[in-house]
Chains A and B, each alone.
Chain A
Amino acid sequence: MRGFFAILLLAMGIALPGAAAENKDAAALSQLEAAVAANPDELKSANEYRKAVIRTGEYDRSIAFFEKLTADHPQAAYAWLNFGYAYVDKIPAAGSITQVILANKALTNFGKSIDLKKTWIALFTRGNSYLYWPVIFGRAPLGVADLEQAVEISRQEPKPRKVYVRAWIALGDGYWKTGQAEKAKATWREALKLFPGDPQLQARLARDGEDLEKYIYEQLDPNKRVDTDLSPLWEGE
Chain B
Amino acid sequence: MTIWGWVLAVVALAAAGPQRELTDVTASAGVAAAHHNRVFKNPYAEIMAGYTALGAAVAVADYDGDGFEDLFVTDSADGGKNHLYRNRGDFTFVDMAAKAGVAAGNDPGNATADALWLDYDNDGRPDLFVVRFGIRQLFHNVGGGGSGRFEDVTRKAGLERYANAITAVAFDYDRDGDLDLFTGNYFQPVNLFNPDTPRFFPESFETADNGGGLTVWRNDGGGRFADATREAGIALSGWTLDLGHADFDNDGDDDLYVACDFGTDRFLVNNGDGTFADRTKQAVGIDTKKGMNADWGDYDNDGLLDVFVTNITDEYMREGNFLWRNNGDGTFSDVARETGVHDTGWGWGGKFFDYDNDGWLDLYVVNGWVSAGPESYVPDVFEMVTRPNVDLADARSWPPMGKKSLSGYQKKKLFHNQGGGIFRDEAARHGVDSTRDGRGIAVADFDNDGRLDFFVANANAEPYLYRNVAGGGASWIAFRLEGRKSNRDAVGAQLRATVKGRTQLRFVDGGNGFAGQSSRRVHFGLAGASAVERLEVRWPSGLRQTFDKLQAGRTYRLIEGQPAAQEIKR
Contacts and interface: CB of A to CB of B under 8 A. Distances in A.
20 contacts: A94-B288, A95-B205, A95-B288, A95-B289, A96-B312, A96-B317, A96-B318, A97-B206, A97-B317, A98-B288, A100-B385, A100-B386, A101-B385, A134-B315, A134-B316, A134-B378, A136-B376, A137-B378, A221-B318, A223-B318
Contacts of B207: 95
A98 to B, nearest CB: 6
A100 B316 CA distance: 9
Contacts of B378: 134, 136-137
A98 B316 contact: no
B247 interface: no
Given A97-B206, A221-B318, 5 more contacts: A96-B288, A96-B318, A100-B386, A136-B378, A222-B318
B385 A97 contact: yes
Contacts of B317: 96-97
Nearest to A103: B386
Interface string A199-224: 00000000000000000000001110
B27 to A, nearest CB: 36
Interface of A: 94-98, 100-101, 104, 134-137, 221-223
Interface string B466-497: 00000000000000000000000000000000
Interface size class, chain B: 10 to 19
B206 A101 contact: no
Interface of B: 205-207, 288-289, 312, 315-319, 376, 378-379, 382, 385-386
A98 B206 contact: yes
Q: Chain A: interface secondary structure?
A: helix
A75 B207 CA distance: 37
Given A96-B288, A136-B376, A136-B379, A101 B386 contact: yes
B132 to A, nearest CB: 29
Nearest to B314: A134
Contacts of B312: 96
Contacts of A136: 315-316, 376, 378-379
B160 to A, nearest CB: 37
A26 B399 CA distance: 42
B340 to A, nearest CB: 14
A223 B287 CA distance: 14
A98 B392 CA distance: 13
A137 B288 contact: no
B316 to A, nearest CB: 4
B242 to A, nearest CB: 19
Contacts of B206: 94-98
A93 to B, nearest CB: 10
A213 B176 CA distance: 57
Given A96-B288, A96-B318, A137 B205 contact: no
Contact of B319 (A94, A96, A134, A221): A96
- Residue among B319, B376, B382, B385 having the largest count of chain A Cβ atoms under 10 Å: B382
A221 B385 CA distance: 20
Nearest to A104: B386
Contacts of A97: 205-206, 317, 385
Contacts of A223: 318
Contacts of A101: 385-386
B79 to A, nearest CB: 37
A223 to B, nearest CB: 6
Nearest to B207: A95
B543 to A, nearest CB: 45
A95 B204 CA distance: 11
A98 B205 CA distance: 8
B315 A100 contact: no
B382 A100 contact: yes
B59 to A, nearest CB: 32
B511 to A, nearest CB: 29
Contacts of B288: 94-96, 98
Nearest to A107: B386
Nearest to A137: B379
Contacts of B289: 95-96
A137 B383 CA distance: 10
Contacts of B385: 97, 100-101
Nearest to B312: A96
B18 to A, nearest CB: 23
Nearest to A96: B317
**Cβ-closest 5 pairs across A and B:** A95-B288, A95-B206, A97-B205, A134-B315, A96-B317
A136 B407 CA distance: 12
Contacts of A96: 205-206, 288-289, 312, 317-319
A119 to B, nearest CB: 26
Contacts of B205: 95-98
B263 to A, nearest CB: 9
A97 to B, nearest CB: 4
Contacts of A221: 318
Nearest to A217: B315
- Residue among A135, A136, A223 having the largest count of chain B Cβ atoms under 10 Å: A136
A220 B116 CA distance: 43
B322 to A, nearest CB: 14
Contacts of A137: 378-379, 382
Contact of A135 (B315, B318, B319, B382): B315
A93 B408 CA distance: 28
A66 to B, nearest CB: 18
A46 B191 CA distance: 52
B471 to A, nearest CB: 33
Contacts of A100: 316, 382, 385-386
A137 B317 CA distance: 13
A100 B379 CA distance: 11
A223 B378 CA distance: 19
A155 B151 CA distance: 82
Contacts of A94: 206, 288
Contacts of B315: 134-136
A221 B315 CA distance: 10
B330 to A, nearest CB: 23
Contacts of A98: 205-206, 288
A94 B319 CA distance: 11
A173 B225 CA distance: 61
A100 B318 CA distance: 12
- Residue among A134, A135, A221, A223 having the largest count of chain B Cβ atoms under 10 Å: A134
A131 to B, nearest CB: 13
A91 B486 CA distance: 50
